Structure 1
Amino acid sequence: MLLNRRRILLGLAGGGLAALVRPGRLHSAASELIEMRGTPRGERVWFSPLGVAVAPGTTVRFANRDRVNSHTVTAYHPDVLGRPRRIPVGAEHWHSGFLLPQEVFEVTLTRPGVYDYYCLPHERAGMVGRIVVGGPGDHGWQPAARSPEGLPPAAANNLPPVAVIFAAGRVNREAAS
């Protein structure tokens, strides 16, 4: 179902996407928490929330709340392990290194656009996330990469559509499926 909804929503023109942006849906806090989670036996892993809309200048804190696994928070960028660029041009890329349970990594996102990221050891299991900074009306706005080329299928299928993130403000794993 997500894949069909994604095709429809990502096929919207820039103007149609802008119409879906509701003022006040962007989280305007100075910081936003995204947790790395997993089941007690480690068979499933995910970021929570999976997608979030924030204002430019927001500091995003990634906290490993998984008691079993180490995780990374890694931006899709050619300078980080040769991955395809899935963050705005000119935005700072990041790679947290391995975070043990309860460790935290922070990044401040200032450039408007869509930032896709993944967990290095769990990308093939679909542990990815998307942060939308600002909106289509912001100067320099850069939408998400439209092609899933270069992504494992589980990762490509887990990224929530930008329009869904705008509409909800935040998307949890359960709501995306």
Structure 2
Amino acid sequence: MNATAHDPRRRLLLAAGGGLWLAAVLPGPAHAGEAVEIGMSGTPSGSDVWFRPRGLLVRPGQAVRWVNRDTGNVHTSTAYHPANGKPLRMTEGAKSWNSDYLLPGQSFTVVFDRPGVYDYFCLPHEHAGMVGRIVVGEADAAPPYAGTDAQLPPAALAGFPAVAAILKQGRVD
């Protein structure tokens, strides 16, 4: 039997093959397992340091990778958690993290499994306001950090983007 393009089985196979080819060559949305990057950097003089983005919305199960892009400084990504000598400013029961010092070009990755709000800082630059916030999935616009603000440096408190802005925009630089 001679199969032609008019044969329904052949059309189905051609369509499926074309769909697979398109899926392989076209970029798609990030999947839960793909890491989203947060850059760590500063001015050449070191007078200003930052995480970019400062605020980020991710899906549960998604990884976040911090990369030190600063050629003149070491940085850390450290959770606000009692295990790190800080007040708890993340989802209760979630695992704490501390990257240790990252030299220029080094990176550190965490997978966020629990929905909620996670605040973090750079150990040597917290007093300079180098802090960030990650929102995983759905979260309340006002995180439950009652009584912890007085324990943080003023520059750190001023550096956190609003949860509502992260939920609306997906990222806040």
Q: TM-score of the superposition, structure 2-length normalised?
A: 0.77
C-alpha deviation, 1:53, in angstroms: 0.5
- d(CA) in 2 for partners of 1:94, 1:144: 20
Amino acid aligned to 2:62? T
- d(CA) in 1 for partners of 2:39, 2:153: 22
- d(CA) in 2 for partners of 1:50, 1:136: 17
Map 1:13-92; keep pairs closer than 5 Å.
30-80=34-84, 82-92=85-95
- d(CA) in 2 for partners of 1:42, 1:144: 33
2:134 match? 131
C-alpha deviation, 1:74, in angstroms: 0.2
Give 1 or 2 for the bigger CA radius of gyration: 2
- d(CA) in 1 for partners of 2:97, 2:162: 22
Greater shift, 148-157 or 124-133, is seen at 148-157
Amino acid aligned to 1:157? A
Query: For residues 144 and 132 of structure 1, do their structure 2 counterparts lie closer, same or farther at Cα, with a shift above 3 Å needed?
Result: farther
- d(CA) in 2 for partners of 1:85, 1:149: 13
1:145 match? 145
- d(CA) in 2 for partners of 1:131, 1:101: 23
C-alpha deviation, 1:122, in angstroms: 0.2
2:159 match? 158
Q: Which has the higher contact order (CA 8 A, sep 6+)?
A: 1
1:119 match? 122
**RMSD across aligned positions (CA):** 1.9
Aligned length: 142
- d(CA) in 2 for partners of 1:159, 1:28: 26
- d(CA) in 1 for partners of 2:83, 2:115: 20
What is the CA deviation profile of residues 127-163 of structure 1, one whole-angstrom value per residue up to 9, with x for unaligned ones? Answer: 00000000049xxxx9352552211000001100100
Amino acid aligned to 2:162? P
Amino acid aligned to 1:126? G
- d(CA) in 1 for partners of 2:161, 2:146: 12
Amino acid aligned to 2:160? L
- d(CA) in 2 for partners of 1:129, 1:151: 13
- d(CA) in 2 for partners of 1:162, 1:28: 22
Query: For residues 78 and 144 of structure 1, do their structure 2 counterparts lie closer, same or farther at Cα, with a shift above 3 Å needed?
Result: same
Instruction: Give identity over the alignment, percent.
Output: 53
